[in-house]
Amino acid sequence: MTFSGWLTIFAFVVILSALALPLGSYMAKVYGGERVFLTPLIGWAERLLYKALRVDPKREQDWKAYAKSLLIFSLAGWLLLYAILRTQNAFFVPHALNPLGYHSAPWNVTFNTVSSFVTNTNWQFYSGETTMSYLSQMVGLTVQNWLSAGVGIVVAVALIRGIVSRSGKSLGNFWQDLVRTILYVLAPISVIGALVLVSQGVIQNLSTYLTAHTLTGLTQSIAMGPAASQLSIKMLGTNGGGFFNVNSAHPFENPTGFTNFFEMLLVLLIPAALVFTYGRMTGNRRQGLAIYATMMVMFLGAVAVAYIAEAHGSPAQHAAGLHTHAIAGSGGGNMEGKEQRFGIAGSALFDVVTTVTSCGAVNSAIESFTGIGGAVPFANMSASETIFGGVGTGLYSILLYVLLAVFIGGLMVGRTPEWLGKKLEAREIKLAGLAILITPLAALFATALAVASHAGRASISTLGKGPQGFSETFYAYLSQSNNNGSAFAGYTGLIQPNAGNLGAHGVTFADVLGGLVMLFARFGPIVFALAVAGALAGKRVTPAGLGTMRTDNGTFVVLLIGVIILVGALTFFPALLLGPVVQGLTGHLY
Amino acid sequence: MRRDIVTSILAMIVLTVLLGLVYPLLVTGVSQVAFPGNANGQKVYVKGELVGSKIIGQSFKSVVLDKNGKPKEEEGEPVTEADPKYFQSRPSATEGGAYNAAASTFSNRGPNDKLTKEEDEANIKEYLGLNKPYDPALTTAQIPVDAVNTSASNLDPEISPANARIQAHRVAAKRGLSRSAVDELVAKYTDSRGLGFSGEPGVNVLELNLALDRLTEGKS
């Protein structure tokens, strides 16, 4: 561990908070329909889009109508993306956008990929530079990076509206929320972000791959492409699907220590800001601060554990005789699967940032993390996106936990639970409980199925021996059910003997099971969250009395952390013991 | 229902054009005008020939020839060995030869895996074999971890300053340069941390080797 490592973590938290606070207020204004500084610039485009889409933004929707629009829109996106990916070498695709003439991936891998991008997961069995044409990356994948992010955010906004609404059943209008999210929130930040990244060395071109002749007479082939535009929205929208196979570890996606820092900020910006948006929209900023504090405590705990564990080094390194402490000119630590320019701290922090959110981008090989360091992303995902979480998904996930915590707190003090003046009744608690249980259910059921069957074990890499094989499998389904997308990347779903998919075939079991898990664990909780919003909307508000449990103080933060850890531990602990914990406790090699 | 279907179809068409074509092409256009070098991958040319990208690592090994002067092969892959007059990059395990930048990949070596230990040991042996003759005091315990562990992308363009310091013994001897001259170049091509704290300093191996070639061009 080094001083600059801890300083990086500290500076990150300070700068993130300083940026998220004003953005949160701005977003509250956007969704409240107020004028913002961008209105004169963008207002005309907003109105034009409503016209083109034949939408009446003033038409109010109850939760069912809102959910219906959302689901049909997502289905349309799924079908279009499938069509685009399956025809990437069709005759009408211009050569410039598929310079290497890549064929489409097989149906099963494409099923997985499409489900993955539409659900904001961006789990990737394929490798960008050997599978995708530039057209597929731009017109297919980049578009879903935007849209799935937008869908996540509008659900959070609708839930907040349900919580604060005092009359009527309306949650707003899905189409209006979506258009505003894209134009007022995502677009300005994404365009600026992409240009900042290019200015630091991220590539953005439509050239064919380069062939270089190296100083020692070897030939090196170098992949190219429009990376920055996809990278920027992939981080901002907590999507996480890399343009290249190694994602944000690739020097063309993350060239310097600065871009690493910048990309981490892009990931957490909106999830952090939305917490403040919530505080503002409820009319009590302390509500937002309490949630922010809850998230930050768990976040910092995860960062500290990951950093310390990775700086310590791995059993394999020590058995080989390496010394892993920091020396002059080298940070030491477990540098297997890590880039020199990020070092241990920059890799550990990035890992936590992208696994507490549902981003799932990686700048280091998670499979090569030490047992305890690797247990951190497991634990982060076991918290089911409550530690900031994905854009929108994080906020609606933790609000469901808040509801649960208020209920448990109410039981403890023996009073009818109330939240922001609204009585919580059986219906809301049941819906929230169901929403919370979907993710663990999907993850554990799929993992069990995969480790217990021949077809499932076929995906485990040759390196995944002993507990590593279990960790690989468990990580795969936990990641997909959390719509995260990061991976112990040895887990295989596509066998590709040649670049460009000639002769490639998918592993149907892993592809299809993973795809179904992602769809189920994405749209299940969304529908339940909207149903909770519908149940809360229009409930009578009673003024807070002396006996009302407050949800904006330190006691509640402790209770909320307790509930999140309890639910995560009770559901996931047995499975975690079999994989990462065993690896962390032993110096034994398998 | 019907209304939602119509709007969804329209939305997918309009938004795909806007976000899938206008947005990436706009970013491409601006980047190509404002940052053409970066946007195209910071290509490095020597005498008009492309030798690589400044920020993509490459192998500084050369092909071993057999007795007949033909490239020696093992299991269909040409055998290579480190060219001692160049600083060597980190080990790389990309398919189709080391540092294949058309197929980046993680090595996925587990922390408790025997194979990881064996790979580390093989790399340690190679590193000692290459450098110990020029730096007799060198021991396994002194080898910086980056020198024997594969990177995340397997395309890491950098090595740690400690790694470069050890290799400087060999490179100076092979090129007939003074240690201080080589150390000076190492320092010149060491990137500092982003914003002063983010990440670790690293030495860009390609830039350093090119500078060495320029320095000794007249001599050999």
- pLDDT, one tens digit per residue, over B131-144 is 999 999 999 999 99
A581: confidence class by pLDDT, cuts 50, 70, 90: confident
User: For A188-197, A498-507, B16-25, B74-83, which range has the lowest pLDDT when averaged over its residues?
Assistant: B74-83
B34: confidence class by pLDDT, cuts 50, 70, 90: very high
At residue A433, the pLDDT reads: 95
A261: confidence class by pLDDT, cuts 50, 70, 90: very high
- Least CB–CB distance from A371: residue in B30, B86, B111: B111
CA distance A492 to A495: 7
The CA distance from B106 to the nearest CA of chain A, in Å, is 6
User: Are A203 and B38 in contact (CB < 8 Å)?
Assistant: yes
User: For A96-105, A290-299, A580-589, which range has the lowest pLDDT when averaged over its residues?
Assistant: A580-589
At residue A168, φ and ψ (nearest 5 deg) are 80, 170
- Cβ contacts of residue A184 below 8 Å, gap of 6+? A30, A36, A38, A42
Interface ipTM: 0.96
At residue A479, the pLDDT reads: 97
- Least CB–CB distance from B102: residue in A146, A223, A226: A223
Say which residue, A462 or B175, is predicted with more confidence. Answer: B175
At residue B96, the pLDDT reads: 86
Question: Is the pTM higher than 0.90?
Answer: yes
Sort out which chain A residues have CB atoms less than 8 A from B111's CB and list them: 314-316, 334, 336, 368-371, 374, 583
Sort out which chain B residues have CB atoms less than 8 A from A371's CB and list them: 111-112
Interaxial angle between packed helices A371-382 and A343-356, expressed in degrees from 0 to 180 and rounded to the nearest 10: 20
Residue B220 has pLDDT above 60, yes or no: no
User: Are B51 and A329 in contact (CB < 8 Å)?
Assistant: no
* Helices and strands in chain A: count of H runs, count of E runs: 22, 6
At residue B219, the pLDDT reads: 58
CA distance B203 to A473: 37
At residue A337, the pLDDT reads: 97
Does B90 contact chain A (CB < 8 Å)?
yes
At residue B218, the pLDDT reads: 64
User: Are B154 and A215 in contact (CB < 8 Å)?
Assistant: no
Tell me the percentage of chain A whose pLDDT exceeds 90. 91
Does A82 contact chain B (CB < 8 Å)?
no
Sort out which chain A residues have CB atoms less than 8 A from B158's CB and list them: 339-341
B74: confidence class by pLDDT, cuts 50, 70, 90: confident
Neighbours of A225 (CB within 10 A): 26
Residue A407 has pLDDT above 60, yes or no: yes
User: Are B111 and A370 in contact (CB < 8 Å)?
Assistant: yes
Residues 44-63 of B with CB under 8 A from A: 46, 49-53, 55-63
At residue A279, the pLDDT reads: 97
- Least CB–CB distance from A77: residue in B12, B27, B100: B12
Summarize the confidence of residues B180-199 as an average pLDDT. 94
B12: confidence class by pLDDT, cuts 50, 70, 90: very high
Sort out which chain B residues have CB atoms less than 8 A from A190's CB and list them: 23
Summarize the confidence of residues B168-197 as an average pLDDT. 95
CA distance A418 to A407: 8
User: For A112-126, A174-188, A446-460, B60-74, which range has the lowest pLDDT when averaged over its residues?
Assistant: B60-74
Q: Which residues is B80 bridged to in the sheet?
A: B63
User: Are B151 and A337 in contact (CB < 8 Å)?
Assistant: yes
Residue A463 has pLDDT above 80, yes or no: no
Does B216 contact chain A (CB < 8 Å)?
no
Residues 450-479 of A with CB under 8 A from B: 461, 463-468
CA distance A145 to A231: 10
3-state helix, strand, coil in chain A (%, to 5): 65, 5, 35
At residue A589, the pLDDT reads: 85
β-strand pairing of B158-159 with B202-204: antiparallel
User: For A122-131, A485-494, A557-566, B3-12, which range has the lowest pLDDT when averaged over its residues?
Assistant: A485-494
Structure tokens at B37: 């070098």
CA distance B173 to B159: 20
A505 membership: H or E segment, kind and range:
strand A505-506
What chain A residue is nearest to B158 in terms of C-alpha separation?
Answer: A340
At residue A8, the pLDDT reads: 95
Structure tokens at A53: 């889409």
User: Are B106 and A8 in contact (CB < 8 Å)?
Assistant: no
Residue A587 has pLDDT above 90, yes or no: no
- The chain-wide mean pLDDT, for chain A, equals 95
At residue A94, the pLDDT reads: 82
3-state secondary structure of A323: coil
CA distance A194 to A185: 15
A414: confidence class by pLDDT, cuts 50, 70, 90: confident
At residue A461, the pLDDT reads: 87
Burial class (CB in 10 A: 0-12, 13-18, 19+), A538: middle
